[in-house]
Structure 1
Amino acid sequence: MVAPGILLVDKPGGLTSHDVVARTRRAFGTRKVGHAGTLDPMATGLLVLGIEGATRLLTYVVGADKTYLATIRLGEATTTDDAEGEVVARAEAEKMDAVTTAQVGEGIAALTGDITQVPSSVSAIKVDGRRAYDRVRAGEEVELSARAVTVPRFEVLAERRTADALDLDVIVDCSSGTYVRALARDLGASLGVGGHLTALRRTRVGPFDVADAVGIDALDDAQPLGPGAAASQVLQRLDVTAEEARDLRHGKRLVDQAERLGGAQAAAIDPDGALIGIVERRARDIKSAMNMPEEIR
């Protein structure tokens, strides 16, 4: 039987997230593999995968904040807001020469904090049941609604000027649902020169770091993080007795125990270290929000 767990994979460029899931299914001999958020084929970095029963935990990872390293090219706008699209506009050299470091800083400051953002039209967002990128590829015009996102950090690590462009290496901390491609597009638009991504690497998803991930060629020997250990990183850990674990599995509440929760939800762990499930406050009680199969460790 395949052991359940959370697997961190460092996706290489050129593969889709589904490609990585397919390879993981073959490596572990199971169809039950899912991921907590896609990466574009061009992008590299951290994919959080759930195996077997641990796929249930992905719901609690999807909404986690993330960190990206990216390269933004100012001076060119593309159809996809990244290097995979066609260039639709180029700024004149004189206009690029006029862009100062201070102006770039002002543009980035305006895109930092709580902002509204229109996702790229080639995103995976569904429009009337179909992915936006599928509609764009079919020749349809797609207009997506602006959404509120949070970008706590958007900093320039290095900049390089060429004759007709300015490349910025940046680091971005952002809430789930933020499109770094859109940040590149909007920064270029605010400076009047256009912009797009030429590189993107996800280095963190919530508590999980790409430094702990395995490469795509090391899947056969990979050791997933157990559900209990993984859930304890994502949520508060609530240690329960064997009796409490049994009650939670049977749908019973832990009466008058809500004060044991520091937040709205927690990972309930039994004395053997097994993840019982995710529990939540319900008035003054603790109640199961999601139970895990008993064999999971």
Structure 2
Amino acid sequence: MSARGKLSSGLVGAGLLIVDKGPGVTSHDVVASCRKLLGTRKVGHAGTLDPMATGVLVLGIERATKMLGLLALTTKAYTATIRLGRTTSTDDAEGETVADASATALEDADIARQVALLTGDIEQVPSSVSAIKVDGQRAHKLVRAGEEFTIPARRVSVTRFDVLARRDVPGTGFVDLDVEVECSSGTYVRALARDLGAALEVGGHLTVLRRTRVGPFTLEHARTLEQLADAPGVSLDIDEAARTAFPHRQVDAEEAEAISQGRWLDPIGLAGVYAAIDPTGHTIALLQEKGKRASSVMVVRPATLRGL
């Protein structure tokens, strides 16, 4: 068996699966479906999507589940539709109506002004039905239990909040805005819809949400569950995933052997987590530099896997 074949032993099927999640299913439903389709229990996710939301959901398969916590998925992008004129209990279309008001008299300039104020580094209060923990409990669970509580505002970054189109909804008094949002992880687009409606004094909520990018992973990488059923397998094998998600350095065979056994290398000045790629193109480990050492934070191909 070639050296390349030996290095792959124990890693068959490992990698990242980028799913284009459909509406009406939870992220945990998607994980359960992927376990069945791929025939493995070793499936994990790098952050969830609400049931009403669609789009990019990043899953780790087999050994790549260990990679999920190291991924730098700090930026996200969405397309969405905000309905002005109605406030709901959940800040989206799945909640109960709290109040209605006519929004048709709103001027585009007024909308643009308030959108600009919600762009940049802002203080945002997450939705009361979010997964934010309050005194150790998830906010959405406290809501269902009828508890009263306050979620503190937190700093988030909205790098892009653009209105692409406006549609007045006939006979309703509502105005629908199609928007594109790019933001930091932890930003709630539902909260942007709520806050925009509140600032315009007509109320607002989210009716459509589609995530188009998480970190470096986009809809171009993604497949629906139906497509996955026709051709089961990861979107990016563990080597492609490492090259896509992390900076990398080339290592020689001797260095690859050392880090496969858990030893450290000399640093080269790369910040953050990066991949060590051997001469055959395999990722041997993910490294992070501290002081005079570049040490493994995950050994992708430990020496103990060889020959299995």
Instruction: Please give the range of the TM-score, normalised by the shorter of the 2 chains.
Output: over 0.9
Quote the residue 1:271 is aligned against. Answer: 279
Following the alignment from structure 2 to structure 1, what is the Cα–Cα distance between the partners of residues 201 and 71?
Answer: 37
Following the alignment from structure 1 to structure 2, what is the Cα–Cα distance between the partners of residues 152 and 135?
Answer: 31
Quote the residue 1:211 is aligned against. Answer: 220
Output aligned runs, 1:135-146, within 5 Å.
135-146=142-153
Q: Which amino acid aligns with 2:298?
A: M
Quote the residue 1:99 is aligned against. Answer: 106
Does structure 1 residue 235 correspond to structure 2 residue 246? Answer: yes
Contact 1:258 1:283 in 2 (8 A): no
Output aligned runs, 1:1-297, within 5 Å.
3-61=13-71, 63-91=73-101, 93=102, 96-162=103-169, 163-220=172-229, 221-224=231-234, 225-255=236-266, 257-259=267-269, 261=270, 263-294=271-302, 295=305
Contact 2:72 2:245 in 1 (8 A): no
Following the alignment from structure 1 to structure 2, what is the Cα–Cα distance between the partners of residues 72 and 38?
Answer: 21
* Local SS of the residue matching 1:42: coil
| Structure 1 unaligned residues grouped into runs of 5+ | none
Shift, 1:31, TM fit: 0.9
Following the alignment from structure 1 to structure 2, what is the Cα–Cα distance between the partners of residues 279 and 24?
Answer: 29
Quote the residue 2:6 is aligned against. Answer: none
Following the alignment from structure 1 to structure 2, what is the Cα–Cα distance between the partners of residues 141 and 271?
Answer: 59
* Local SS of the residue matching 1:186: helix
Q: Which amino acid aligns with 2:167?
A: R
Shift, 1:288, TM fit: 1.4
After superposition, the Cα gap between the structure-2 partners of 1:25 and 1:62, relative to the gap in structure 1 and judged at 3 Å, is farther
Contact 1:115 1:149 in 2 (8 A): yes
Contact 2:250 2:278 in 1 (8 A): yes
Aligned Cα root-mean-square deviation (Å): 1.6
After superposition, the Cα gap between the structure-2 partners of 1:178 and 1:12, relative to the gap in structure 1 and judged at 3 Å, is same
* Local SS of the residue matching 2:113: helix
Runs of 4+ more than 6 Å apart: none
Higher mean displacement: 54-63 or 25-34: 54-63
Following the alignment from structure 1 to structure 2, what is the Cα–Cα distance between the partners of residues 128 and 242?
Answer: 51
* Local SS of the residue matching 2:51: coil
Shift, 1:137, TM fit: 1.0
Higher mean displacement: 26-35 or 119-128: 119-128
Following the alignment from structure 1 to structure 2, what is the Cα–Cα distance between the partners of residues 97 and 41?
Answer: 30
Contact 2:13 2:233 in 1 (8 A): no
Shift, 1:231, TM fit: 1.6
Contact 1:37 1:62 in 2 (8 A): no
Task: State how many pairs are aligned.
Answer: 290
* Local SS of the residue matching 1:271: coil
The two structures have a TM-score, normalised by structure 1, of 0.93
* Local SS of the residue matching 1:279: strand
Q: Which amino acid aligns with 1:233?
A: T
Percent identical residues: 54
Contact 2:88 2:95 in 1 (8 A): yes
Shift, 1:293, TM fit: 4.0
